[in-house]
Structure 1
Amino acid sequence: MSVEFDFSEEVVLVTGASGALGSAVAEAFADAGATVCAADVRAPDDEDALLDPETVEFYEGDFTDESDVRETIDAVVGAHGRLDYLCNVAGTWRGGDPVDETDADQFDMLFDVNLKTAFLASKHALPHLRETEGAIVSVSARSSLEGGEGDALYRASKAGVRLLTESIAEENRGTVRANAVMPSVIDTPANREMMPDSDHSKWVDPADIAATFMALCSEATSVTSGAAVPVYGEA
């Protein structure tokens, strides 16, 4: 059964939009008729960016910097008069070492990129989302549900995203819905390069996760808030 979404006349902000998942989310909302405002520290003409600038309005900014976040969201609302949805996709993975061998700078980087960006974007978007009774969808991770070897800080930062989401949902009950998605390994060029011998057929296509983002912003999930939704398929 095919599913179609219509986000015409609505405005969505996607952070981390130049990456594989962010660009898929931006493209999906654009295809569904939304006005897509895409934010990233990497401009679309960066050699590593995957975003198609023809389908979105791009805002370059560092979402670990509160002034950049404030200016970006003010610019989006100033240009369009509203904000309906926030997709907190900005994030990264680092790992490989046990806790006692991990540099403290890696803690700062992972918590800044994975958790602080979601906090700051949500903080400044919420007043506008309350006006439109909108929604927030953030990216946690399957690995945030348990401890593991070699990537403790990544797991902890993504657990923080999940708990932040639950708290936003509680604080805005009946006004703004907040949910998270929990991927495992996503089928991206970077992951294929990093793990060339893995079974890529079990990895999840970013477009499939983007469809879940749209479902969580749609009326189909109007009674769903505070959830952490698995999106890892067989990965």
Structure 2
Amino acid sequence: MTARFDNRVVLVAGGTGGLGREVTSAFLEGGATAVTTYRNQPEWEKFKTGASAYAGPLEGHEVDVTDEAAVRQLVEKIFSKHGRLDAMVNTVGGYRGGLKLWEMETRVFEQMLTLNLRSGYALTRAMVPAMLNQGHGAIVNVASKAALDHAAGASAYAASKAAAVAMIDSLAADLKGTGVRVNSILPSIMDTEANRKAMPNADFSKWPKPVDIARVILFLCSDDARVIHGASIPVYGDS
């Protein structure tokens, strides 16, 4: 990893998930203080134990990032302890597919909006004012190829990811010239343990690896990407 984040403080929402672990690890490897959110205590404990080998310090908070009040409290804690927040990456999301729109329960639609749209809304709503006050910051929201490629059986998922991209795109326009940058990345199916179990007959070799996607995210959060703002970057691999 070439990007360096010494003396930087970063937040990775969903930092113990398949992609979140790689993003958090990459930041730690780059020397950052990494703050992660999690919902699964055993996952956090396992990750925390393995992260001791990295240069940067790690801290975790059990937070529902779709809860605006909880996210605001987290931001206050970060600034109270560290006095800054240089980057935020939202890897929180979920997938439900294989359902025709008219056969899908409304709760599934609402769940996709909550995980894939409201999480980014709550996080950016809390982070942006603090970053504006300090005059700099980088935000990366993980969307999906499905935001552009609307497959059958994925109406709720595609709608939530498309809305997330539109939200970040509009936010970028609001933030032009402020020193705070926001971008989206659009992965296709990632090579995670959960996806392999869900699709055991797929060709895993064509799926982008979380570690490779993490490199793109770190670049977007680095000073090397200071001219990239309001982009939606595809990270499809060969799929």
Q: TM-score, normalised by structure 1?
A: 0.94
1:214 matched residue in structure 2: 218
Which of 133, 144, 147 aligns to 2:136? It is: 133
Which of 232, 235, 239 aligns to 1:228? It is: 232
Indicate the RMSD between aligned Cα atoms, in angstroms: 1.5
For the structure 1 residues 92 and 34, does the alpha-carbon distance in structure 2 shift closer, same or farther, using more than 3 Å as the test? Answer: same
Which of 1, 21, 24 aligns to 1:23? It is: 21
2:193 matched residue in structure 1: 189
Judge conservation of contact 1:83–1:132 (CA < 8 Å) in 2.
no
Judge conservation of contact 1:21–1:206 (CA < 8 Å) in 2.
yes
1:51 matched residue in structure 2: 47
2:36 matched residue in structure 1: 38
Deviation at residue 155 of structure 1 after TM alignment = 0.6
* 1:37-86: CA deviation from partner (whole Å, max 9, x where unpaired): 0012222x249x87335452001011111111111111111111111101
Aligned counterparts, 1:40-189, within 5 A: 40-43=38-41, 45-46=42-43, 51-52=47-48, 54-55=51-52, 56-130=58-132, 131-174=134-177, 175-189=179-193
Distance, in Å, in 1 between the alignment partners of 2:214 and 2:135 is 22
Aligned counterparts, 1:193-204, within 5 A: 193-204=197-208
In structure 2, the residue corresponding to 1:51 is in which secondary structure? Answer: helix
For the structure 1 residues 40 and 132, does the alpha-carbon distance in structure 2 shift closer, same or farther, using more than 3 Å as the test? Answer: farther
For the structure 1 residues 151 and 135, does the alpha-carbon distance in structure 2 shift closer, same or farther, using more than 3 Å as the test? Answer: same
In structure 2, the residue corresponding to 1:59 is in which secondary structure? Answer: strand
Judge conservation of contact 1:14–1:36 (CA < 8 Å) in 2.
yes
Distance, in Å, in 2 between the alignment partners of 1:234 and 1:183 is 11
Q: Give aligned-pair identity as a percent.
A: 36
Distance, in Å, in 2 between the alignment partners of 1:11 and 1:228 is 24
* 1:105-141: CA deviation from partner (whole Å, max 9, x where unpaired): 0111111111101010001011222214111000111
Aligned residues: 231
Deviation at residue 16 of structure 1 after TM alignment = 1.0
In structure 1, the residue corresponding to 2:182 is in which secondary structure? Answer: strand
2:55 matched residue in structure 1: none
In structure 2, runs of 5+ residues without a counterpart are: 53-57
In structure 2, the residue corresponding to 1:117 is in which secondary structure? Answer: helix
Deviation at residue 157 of structure 1 after TM alignment = 0.5
In structure 1, runs of 5+ residues without a counterpart are: none
Q: TM-score, normalised by structure 2?
A: 0.93
For the structure 1 residues 50 and 16, does the alpha-carbon distance in structure 2 shift closer, same or farther, using more than 3 Å as the test? Answer: farther
For the structure 1 residues 50 and 123, does the alpha-carbon distance in structure 2 shift closer, same or farther, using more than 3 Å as the test? Answer: farther
